[in-house]
Amino acid sequence: MNPELVIVGVLTSGIRLATPYLYAAIGETFGQRSGVLNLGVDGQMLLGAFAAFYVAFTTGNLWLGLLAAIIVGALMGLAMAFVTVNLQAVQGISGIGFYLFGLGMSELLFKMMLGTVETVKGFPIVSIPFLGDIPFVGKIFFQQNIMVYGAFLLVPLAWFILNKTTLGLKIRAVGENPEAADSLGVSVARIRYFTIILGGILSGLAGASMSIALLNVFQQNMTSGLGFIAVALVYFGAWRAWGVLAGALLFSFVNSIQLWMQVLNVPIPSEIAVMLPYILTIIVLVLTVSRVRPPSALTKPFDRGD
Amino acid sequence: MRSKLDSFVDALLPVFATLAALGVGALMLLILRVNPGEAYGALWEGAFGSTNAIAETLVKSVPLLLVGLGICIAFRASVINIGAEGQMIIGGLMATQIGLVFTDLPGWMVIIMAIFAGFLGGAIWGGIPGALKAYFNVNEILSTVMMNAIAVQIMNYMLRGPMIDPAQLEKASKIPQTARLADAFRLPRLAPTRLHLGFVIAIALAILVYILLWRTTLGYRIRAVGQNPHASRYGGIRVRRRIVTALLLSGALAGIAGAIQVYGVNYRMITDGSSTGFTGGAGFNGIVAALFGQLHPIGTIPASIFFGALLVGANKMQRAVQIPSALIGALNGLVVIFVVSSEMWRNKRQKDRLSIESDVVNMGESPSDDPTSTPEEVLA
């Protein structure tokens, strides 16, 4: 095959495949910055993916599908917020509960409401005027579908909100020192409700990006643990939006290269290639933890004592 | 100082949590226009309706119990091990390899070696995140998740490559599975059912883990680290080493679960590409069982049987009222959420009692000998 074609192919799908990681990991970043570890991302993604697919499949309207994913993600987030903020449950374990719930529930609904694997015509490729016409670069960056653009726009947006707005300041304050934030009149509960629901919505969108924009099918456990990787990416990216982007691209590019190696019949076992980003993540975690400190109140419930 | 009644109420909390989850399940069934009575009736029938059903329930409970025992040790040390899936896989792979290599040895010897290999494989797979947490401060939740993903790929690679059944190499299908183990290597069955010796091994290990945690110095130290790492350090306990020990043992028990799954149920290893294809989700459901058993090894025995029954009964329910067995998976998730949510209520009451009983802050507080108390950091 023409080497230039292969390179463009690897890069194009590398950008594409970063999409679900970005939605989910940016959502998780908001939660963790406010002191909440959401381990249920994968479950939220699966339910979001199913909701989006089912609505898009039955109505033929992809936007309604997205809306469904947002609603389902928000509801999961709301439940999680209640459990973590009001009931002060251990976040690491309740998150596993939400994961198991989403995993089982999405399979149950899939079997009851669809029964077989169907496909939808997902979001089409939108070529950005002028930019899309640039040779090489245009094909890679500016001929993608709308969910991909959205994911990449989310990164600077999240950076801006977290670092340049009062809301972001409040979120960070609640994650670093909830007692101080509380004494300054910031409602810790309200901020955490906001970030956890936002995280749920973005996880729902992450799932939708898989089921109605990238793969255009729904299958049981179709995320196969991607949501857990998203949680790791937040640590990997040292709780910063740009760091998360770097991690997401690392995963998506290794995935893309591995897929292309299979297409081209490269005689390296694909399992080894799939394994690499996980090993790399562990190594990066080892190298960064000594330098970067997680938000001080991460996983600690806040009790006003009243 | 806990009154009998308080302990009794605390012990019942998971039961209430489960009843609540089953209640939500009943509601879901009503929405799906299925009679909950009929569905749960079929579930009960499938789990306990005949000798075979009971045997299947017990068979299903074995990996849950073994994983759950490991979870008891890890969570008691305030280490959250969600890597049991991977630990089962590596344990299973190493155990299988023993049976494929030492074909000439007597069966009992191979079985003992295989269980030890499972122990070792799981210990390595749990020990690595343990060491990373203790010495490099790497969050064990993340590293165990990564180790799960790596284990799945190792399994897929081994079963498609080096360990593939030679017979499959000649077929076009090339099913990724090992050769079948020799009949002599199978774990003996206990009755004319599929119930195998692994059940007895698991019960024995539950007793051993109880003794380890509450009757040995090592267990005392592990629990001390879980309750208060700072005080433990002042008390001369090597906290880092105990964290590694806890995750290592936790992984080892999951590894044994993997070995027993191969030698007691499947007699070979086969992959569908995912971890649950081999583990049946025991790596996660074992956490549910351990939480239900209040992180107590003996309590985890009935808890595992209960969740084994749910999983086995779910299949019958699927056939009888056409409700996918995934419903039980979703309900298991709810049980976890409800159990950890109800902890606050219990802790509040404990705190109230403490504030009445003493105003003294006890620096060198020793871990309670009361098995129903839970480590502060994990279940705070």
In angstroms, rounded to a whole number, what is the distance separating the alpha carbons of residues B126 and B87? Answer: 7
Of B35 and A265, which is predicted with more confidence?
B35
pLDDT at B335: 87
> For the whole model, what pTM was predicted?
0.88
Per-residue confidence band for B33, with pLDDT thresholds at 50, 70 and 90: confident
Residue A305 lies in a domain: no
- The distance of B144 to chain A (nearest Cα, Å) reads 10
Per-residue confidence band for B357, with pLDDT thresholds at 50, 70 and 90: very low
Q: What percent of chain B has pLDDT over 90?
A: 61
Q: Does the structure show a pLDDT above 80 at B364?
A: no
Q: What percent of chain A has pLDDT over 70?
A: 98
DSSP labels for B230-253?
Answer: HHHHHTT--HHHHHHHHHHHHHHH
Of B358 and A274, which is predicted with more confidence?
A274
In chain A, what residues touch B276 (CB-CB under 8 Å)?
A: 221
pLDDT at A105: 94
In chain B, what residues touch A229 (CB-CB under 8 Å)?
A: 145, 149
In chain B, what residues touch A93 (CB-CB under 8 Å)?
A: 80, 287, 291, 336, 340, 378-379
- The distance of B75 to chain A (nearest Cα, Å) reads 10
Cβ contacts of B212 within 8 Å, gap of 6 or more: B73, B218, B219, B249
Q: Does the structure show a pLDDT above 90 at B355?
A: no
Measured between alpha carbons, how far is residue A74 from residues A27, A81, A201, A205, B159 in Å? 12, 10, 5, 10, 41
Average pLDDT over chain A reads: 91
Residue A247 lies in a domain: no
Per-residue confidence band for B367, with pLDDT thresholds at 50, 70 and 90: low
Q: How many CB pairs under 8 A join A and B?
A: 152
User: Please, which residues 97-116 of chain A have a Cβ atom closer than 8 Å to chain B?
Assistant: 97-105, 107-108, 111-112
Q: Which of A97, A220, A290 is facing B340, going by the closest CB pair? A: A97
The mean pLDDT value for A25-40 works out to 95
The mean pLDDT value for A160-180 works out to 95
pLDDT at B30: 92
The 8-class DSSP code of residue A119 comes to B
Residue A218 lies in a domain: yes
Of B2 and B70, which is predicted with more confidence?
B70
In angstroms, rounded to a whole number, what is the distance separating the alpha carbons of residues A179 and A176? Answer: 9
Per-residue confidence band for B230, with pLDDT thresholds at 50, 70 and 90: confident
In chain A, what residues touch B340 (CB-CB under 8 Å)?
A: 83, 89-90, 93-94, 97
Residue A86 lies in a domain: yes
Distance of CA A205 to the CA centre of its chain: 8
Q: Which of B149, B157, B326 is facing A278, going by the closest CB pair? A: B149
Helix, strand, coil: what percent of chain B each, to 5?
A: 75, 0, 25
Measured between alpha carbons, how far is residue B10 from residues B31, B223, B336, B342, B346 in Å? 32, 20, 16, 10, 7
Amino acid at B99: G
- B335 contacts A90? CB cut-off 8 A: no
In chain A, what residues touch B154 (CB-CB under 8 Å)?
A: 271, 275
Per-residue confidence band for B226, with pLDDT thresholds at 50, 70 and 90: confident
Q: Does the structure show a pLDDT above 70 at B261?
A: yes
For the stretch B50-101, pLDDT in tens is 999 999 999 999 999 999 999 999 999 989 898 999 999 999 999 999 999 9
Class of domain B64-301+338-357: mainly alpha
pLDDT at B200: 96
In angstroms, rounded to a whole number, what is the distance separating the alpha carbons of residues B309 and B56? Answer: 8
Which of A91, A99, A278 has the highest number of chain B CBs within 10 A, making it the mutation to test binding with B? A278
pLDDT at B249: 97
The mean pLDDT value for A246-270 works out to 85
pLDDT at A199: 97
pLDDT at A306: 56
In angstroms, rounded to a whole number, what is the distance separating the alpha carbons of residues A2 and A6? Answer: 6
- Are B328 and B311 in contact by the 8 Å Cβ rule? The answer is yes
Q: Which of B283, B261, B374, B244 is nearest to B82 (CA)?
A: B283
Paired with A205 in beta bridges are none
CA pseudo-torsion sign A169, A173, A174, A180: negative
Instruction: Tell me the two tokens of residue A206.
Output: 């992450």
- A290 contacts B149? CB cut-off 8 A: no
- The distance of B7 to chain A (nearest Cα, Å) reads 20
Per-residue confidence band for B231, with pLDDT thresholds at 50, 70 and 90: confident
The number of folded domains in chain A is 1
pLDDT at B354: 56
CA atoms within 13 A on the CB side of A306: 2
Measured between alpha carbons, how far is residue A217 from residues A36, A72, A222, A304, B327 in Å? 32, 18, 9, 46, 22
pLDDT at A260: 85
In chain A, what residues touch B148 (CB-CB under 8 Å)?
A: 225
In chain A, what residues touch B334 (CB-CB under 8 Å)?
A: 97, 101
- The alpha-helical segments, DSSP class H, found in A178-269 are 178-183, 188-209, 226-236, 241-263
Residue A89 lies in a domain: yes
Of B288 and A166, which is predicted with more confidence?
A166
For the stretch A110-126, pLDDT in tens is 998 998 899 999 899 88
Q: What percent of chain B has pLDDT over 70?
A: 88
- A108 contacts B330? CB cut-off 8 A: yes
In angstroms, rounded to a whole number, what is the distance separating the alpha carbons of residues A286 and A205? Answer: 31
Residue A149 domain boundaries: 19-235
pLDDT at B232: 86
Judged by DSSP in three states, A5 sits in: helix
In angstroms, rounded to a whole number, what is the distance separating the alpha carbons of residues B347 and B116? Answer: 39
Per-residue confidence band for A147, with pLDDT thresholds at 50, 70 and 90: very high
For the stretch A279-299, pLDDT in tens is 888 888 888 776 777 888 888
- A221 contacts B274? CB cut-off 8 A: yes
In chain A, what residues touch B327 (CB-CB under 8 Å)?
A: 104, 108
Q: Does the structure show a pLDDT above 80 at B41?
A: yes
Q: Which of A93, A112, A231 is facing B336, going by the closest CB pair? A: A93
Residue A151 lies in a domain: yes
